[in-house]
Amino acid sequence: MVEEEGCGYVLPLEDPRILADHILKLYEDEGLREEMGRRGRDYAERELALTVAAKRYVELVKRISPFSSTS
């Protein structure tokens, strides 16, 4: 999600220098911070909104329910 949506970085845990480089990059680039923040918020509003989550939950329950009409 993070990389696909462009709202963050996925970094290897083995090299703290890579993490430091990315933190510094974000610290120095206000535009990048704002863009990543906007993308993260857009994703959350689109994919994690209560109505979206509730709809997905209902669909899941219907799919796994032994009382579903599609079984």
DSSP per position, the chain = -HHHHTSS----TT-HHHHHHHHHHHHH-HHHHHHHHHHHHHHHHHHS-HHHHHHHHHHHHHHH-TT-TT-
Rounded to 5°, the CA angle 56-61-62 comes to 95
pLDDT digits (tens, 9 = 90+) for 13-44: 999 999 999 999 999 999 999 999 999 999 98
Longest Cα–Cα distance of the chain, Å, equals 56
Domain ranges of the chain: 2-64
Note if the pTM is more than 0.75.
Answer: no
pLDDT band per the 50, 70, 90 thresholds, residue 70: low
For residue 60, pLDDT over 90 is answered with yes
For residue 71, pLDDT over 50 is answered with no
